[in-house]
Chains A and B, each alone.
Chain A
Amino acid sequence: MKTILLVEDDTNQLLLYKQELSLEGYSIITAQDGQEAVKKVKEHTPDLIVMDINMPKINGIEALGKILSEHKKVPIIINTAYSSYKDNFMSWSADAYIIKSSDLKELKDKIKELIGKIK
């Protein structure tokens, strides 16, 4: 079973994503800020990361760089309510950039696509 690290500071959203993605057959681990995310990646080496950007301690953009420096091949999906980070050069190092929506289809499809590429 593939493991996904969900990084999201909003507890309600985190629970929603966790539930929905578990139903898709993924094992889910969670973190609620960038710093915890970096730590969880080290501990669990997930197959894919879904990352919010606006978070306490270190934000998703900075966490992205730190994670990639050690796990350069893990696919990362930015999942944010804001489109403005798209211009940020560092956000370009994510494999996908998804604007949050109540319909999780786009996110699920992207996960499927990226996880499918993993050997």
Chain B
Amino acid sequence: MFKKVLVMILAGGQGERLYPLTKDRAKPAVPFGGIYRIIDFPLSNCINSGLRKICVLTQYKSYSLDRHLRIEWNIFNNELDEFIENIPPQKRISDMWYQGTADAVYQNIYVLERERPEKVLILAGDHIYKMDYRELIEFHETNNADLTVPCIEVPIKEASRFGVMSIDNEQQVIEFNEKPASPKPIQSNPEMALVSMGIYLFNTQVLVKRVIEDTKRDTIHDFGKNIIPSMINKDRVFAFIFRDKNNKAVKYWRDIGTIDAYWETNMDLVQVDPIFNLYDENWPIRTYHEQFPPAKTVFSELFPGGRCGTVLDSLVSNGCIISGARVERSILSSNVRIDNYSEVFDSILMAGVRIGKNVKIRKAIIDKSVIVPDGKHIGYNLEADAKQFIISEKGVVVAHKEMPLL
């Protein structure tokens, strides 16, 4: 039954709210957790769920993403009818770019026509979570649904960022409002709301009918805003609640929409008992590793004023050398060097970053290949930092890729 499911990953958004991490790359290609790219998470979910027909719909700044997919995800066997296709706008139906999520699917009707899948699983390229899509597909089939929308419960004050839904006792969706000003709580708890995870499992024929109808309307051609609300009263739309089967707890799911969400989600990885576990052997997350020697710490001069290479509560990727410096609660991508007497706290350093001597960095994101000169302080005086860097709402300082600081 899983062979008849085609996956479409929407990777075409501009990712403006994640600027400057999206300055040179599409959002799904933004590095995450030291060695991954964000898109590795939904793709790994596909592989682990046995779904091996995947189209990635790209648009803006797709080079980095394309390259990553080509190098790392070239693991599918065409002879077994498996594939991963990177599809930019073909301008086959329209001369326009993708006008919205639903339009991206409409413009690729030819792909659906060629593949003729029974079902289409539409995923976002910018979510961090682990989901066995087989459970979702089984739920969809059991309920004889036309559309199934995975969802989670979130505190009501956060709900207006999402598609908020109401369901009946059978989990059929009876109301769906995208980003409502005043979200409706769930019946059993006025403090919580049921929100869409932005993932959709459609029966193909229904999907095609609804996106065609939508293309003829003056809408923004968005699944959450237009397609799903239009389906509530005429199709069988169900909510699949994303909970742990054993303890019924809400499972981990994060939408990497903003710099703050990006930083916080990374920081979820460094906790002693992380709420998102990368070390689960039953659910491996694949990625592409450039070859580097093992990470190294040097100098163990334990006397006062001595040089001491110390790393605590952090993820350190291959090729890193922490030389007489101190790193705490941070994530270091490959090939990062940190020199004597420097301190890096609560920060994300991406591949190839060089930190000089006596540098102090706190609550910052340093993008690829930035060279931080000796004595530089980042994150200690936000007013001064604001002249040079982008600073998020919650005070995360961001140095963009290859930013000259010397």
Contacts and interface: CB of A to CB of B under 8 A. Distances in A.
Interface of A: 62, 65-66, 68-70, 72-73, 88-90, 92-93
B40 to A, nearest CB: 31
B220 to A, nearest CB: 14
A114 B40 CA distance: 48
Interface in B215-240: 215-217
B94 A69 contact: yes
18 contacts: A65-B109, A66-B93, A68-B93, A68-B215, A68-B216, A69-B95, A69-B96, A70-B95, A73-B216, A89-B109, A89-B112, A89-B113, A89-B208, A90-B109, A92-B208, A92-B209, A92-B212, A93-B216
A9 B110 CA distance: 24
Given A69-B95, A90-B113, 4 more contacts: A65-B94, A92-B208, A92-B209, A93-B216
A69 B93 contact: yes
A93 B208 CA distance: 9
Interface string B87-130: 00000111110000000000001101100000000000000000
A72 B216 contact: yes
A73 B212 CA distance: 12
Contacts of B96: 69
The residue in A69, A70, A73, A88 that gathers the most chain B C-beta atoms within 10 A of its C-beta is A69
Contacts of B212: 92-93
Nearest to B93: A65
A90 B209 contact: no
A65 B112 contact: no
B130 to A, nearest CB: 33
Interface size class of B (residues with CB under 8 A): 10 to 19
Nearest to B96: A69
B113 A88 contact: yes
Contacts of A65: 92-94, 109
A92 B217 CA distance: 15
Contacts of B216: 68, 72-73, 93
Interface in B70-95: 92-95
Interface in B189-213: 208-209, 212
Contact of A93 (B92, B112, B215, B217): B215
A62 to B, nearest CB: 8
B39 to A, nearest CB: 27
Contacts of A88: 113
Contacts of A70: 95
A62 B93 CA distance: 7
Given A65-B94, A92-B209, A72 B215 contact: yes
> Which 6 pairs of residues, A with B, have the shortest CB-CB distance?
A65-B93, A69-B94, A93-B212, A89-B208, A89-B113, A72-B216
Contacts of A93: 212, 215-216
Contact of B110 (A69, A73, A90): A90
B210 to A, nearest CB: 11
A68 B212 CA distance: 10
Nearest to B218: A72
A18 B216 CA distance: 28
Contacts of A66: 93-94
Contacts of B217: 72
A32 to B, nearest CB: 22
A36 B281 CA distance: 59
Nearest to A71: B216
